[in-house]
């Protein structure tokens, strides 16, 4: 059995530990492992190579991905998917482990239906916005990167009478912002999934200032596209000098945390076990503290929603 692994879409810490486990567990089970470099673009360009232990030696602590990633508009065209299939056929590869998000999984569903290539998906995105799983690879590392940044900003915030607006990644999902706000002691949390009331927050903040508050930490999800507006709001409505920090791509980097290294191993082990059993087009998910699998169609046709209990915990920071 020949199986390949690839990363697609945005990178995240945890992909290298996953790649390491893929090679080692494949060889342990008599599977020949292959790397597809540079994601879907690399699949089209034939960047496929047999993998060995030496390829994954010393990578477990590294962020990003040694097999690199990409997004591909060409893959939308069948003629390029045909080329991709022929490239896999040259190496007798009939199963691909895909580290990515729901867009990558949808692309492979189409590919699988056309050419019979099986795939097993592993949710790998710091956005944590994949339906059916409570956790995606890379999220814990991203949260710890953000936590460190917010803690550092708090040090300087407490030295001045200032408001600091910190924008987190997540696309249309506010998970990173929400968890960060809850665990960093922020005064404000604004996310796409919940309503907010600036008039109410103004009254609350002005009262807190009268009672001695001297700085504010506001966590804003990038999906709202209002970070600059909130900075201005603090200056014009609250009367506090303010600073905006857009954390950006530092959230995708960094050494994988112990939790991401461990979950990477378990995600990949589950994925290869599914492949060995002949399961087709499955997504490995983590829920109720267990690793399970569900049909890819369930993942790609449903929308992820943040746990309402978590949003409720943050209501005081929204209104």
Full pLDDT tens readout for the chain, 319 residues: 999 999 999 999 999 999 999 999 999 999 999 999 999 999 999 999 999 999 999 999 999 999 999 999 999 999 999 999 999 999 999 999 999 999 999 999 999 999 999 999 999 999 999 999 999 999 999 999 999 999 999 999 989 889 999 999 999 999 999 999 999 999 999 999 999 999 999 999 999 999 999 999 999 999 999 999 999 999 999 999 999 999 999 999 999 999 999 999 999 999 999 999 999 999 999 999 999 999 999 999 999 999 999 999 999 999 9
User: Residues 194-212, buried b or exposed e (16+ Cβ, 10 A)?
Assistant: bebebeebeebbeeeeeee
Looking up tokens 């867009």 gives: 103
**Per-residue DSSP letter, 60:** T
pLDDT at 81: 98
Q: What is the number of other CB atoms lying within 10 angstroms of the CB of residue 160?
A: 13
pLDDT at 154: 94
Upper half-sphere CA count for residue 289 (Cβ side, 13 Å): 0
User: Residues 161-179, buried b or exposed e (16+ Cβ, 10 A)?
Assistant: ebbbbbbbbbbebbbbbbb
Angle at 294 between CA 10 and CA 98, to 5 degrees: 30
pLDDT at 281: 97
pLDDT at 48: 98
Q: 2-138+256-304: which CATH topology?
A: Rossmann fold (3.40.50)
pLDDT at 161: 87
CA-to-CA distance for 119 and 272, rounded, in angstroms?
Answer: 10
Reported in sequence order, the residue ranges of the chain that DSSP labels E, i.e. its strands, are 2-7, 32-36, 48-50, 93-100, 118-123, 162-168, 188-190, 216-221, 241-246, 282-287, 290-295
- Asked if residues 180 and 168 have their Cβ atoms less than 8 Å apart, the reply is yes
Helix ranges restricted to H, 123-255: 139-157, 175-184, 198-210, 227-233
Is 127 one of the annotated active-site residues of the chain?
yes
Burial tier of 5 (Cβ tally within 10 Å: 0-12, 13-18, 19+):
buried
pLDDT at 273: 98
Residues paired with residue 163 on neighbouring β-strands, in sequence order:
216, 242
* Residues ≥6 apart with Cβ < 8 Å to 149: 166, 245, 247, 250
Give the chain's length.
Answer: 319
For residue 91 the two structure tokens come to: 């190496």
CATH tag, 140-252? 3.40.50.460
Give the domain ranges of the chain.
2-138+256-304, 140-252
CA-to-CA distance for 58 and 304, rounded, in angstroms?
Answer: 35
- Asked if residues 7 and 69 have their Cβ atoms less than 8 Å apart, the reply is yes
Q: Are strands 48-50 and 32-36 parallel, antiparallel or unpaired?
A: antiparallel
CA-to-CA distance for 63 and 178, rounded, in angstroms?
Answer: 24
Burial tier of 12 (Cβ tally within 10 Å: 0-12, 13-18, 19+):
buried
CA-to-CA distance for 102 and 297, rounded, in angstroms?
Answer: 10
Q: Considering 45, 127, 129, 260, which one is annotated as catalytic?
A: 127
Would you say the CATH fold of 140-252 matches that of 2-138+256-304? Answer: yes
């Amino acid at each position: 059995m020949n199986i390949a692994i690839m990363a697609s879409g945005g990178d995240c810490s945890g992909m290298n530990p996953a790649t390491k486990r893929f090679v080692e567990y494949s060889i342990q089970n008599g599977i020949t492992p292959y790397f597809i470099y540079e994601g879907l673009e690399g699949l089209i360009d034939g960047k496929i190579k047999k993998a060995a232990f030496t390829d994954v030696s010393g990578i477990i602590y590294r962020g990003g991905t040694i097999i690199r990633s990409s997004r591909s508009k060409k893959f939308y065209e069948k003629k390029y998917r045909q080329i991709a299939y022929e490239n896999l056929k040259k190496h007798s590869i009939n199963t691909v482990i895909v580290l990515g998000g729901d867009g990558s999984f949808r692309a492979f569903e189409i590919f699988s239906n056309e050419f019979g290539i099986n795939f097993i998906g592993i949710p790998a995105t710091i956005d944590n916005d994949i339906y059916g799983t409570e956790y995606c690879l890379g999220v814990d590392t991203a949260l710890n990167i953000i936590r460190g940044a917010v803690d550092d900003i708090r040090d300087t915030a407490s030295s001045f009478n200032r408001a600091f607006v910190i924008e987190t990644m997540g696309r249309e999902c506010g998970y990173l912002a929400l968890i960060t706000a809850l665990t960093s002691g922020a005064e404000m949390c604004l996310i796409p999934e919940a309503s907010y009331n600036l008039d109410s927050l103004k009254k609350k903040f002005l009262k807190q200032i009268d009672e001695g508050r001297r700085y504010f930490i506001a966590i804003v999800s990038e999906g709202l596209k209002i970070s600059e507006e909130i900075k201005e709001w603090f200056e014009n409505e609250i009367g506090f000098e303010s600073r905006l920090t857009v954390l950006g791509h530092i959230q995708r980097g960094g050494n994988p945390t112990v939790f991401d290294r461990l979950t990477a191993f378990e995600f990949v082990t589950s994925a290869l076990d599914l492949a060995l059993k002949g399961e087709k087009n499955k997504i490995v998910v983590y829920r109720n503290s267990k690793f399970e699998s569900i049909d890819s169609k369930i993942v790609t046709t449903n929308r992820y929603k943040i746990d309402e209990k978590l949003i409720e915990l943050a209501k005081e920071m929204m209104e």
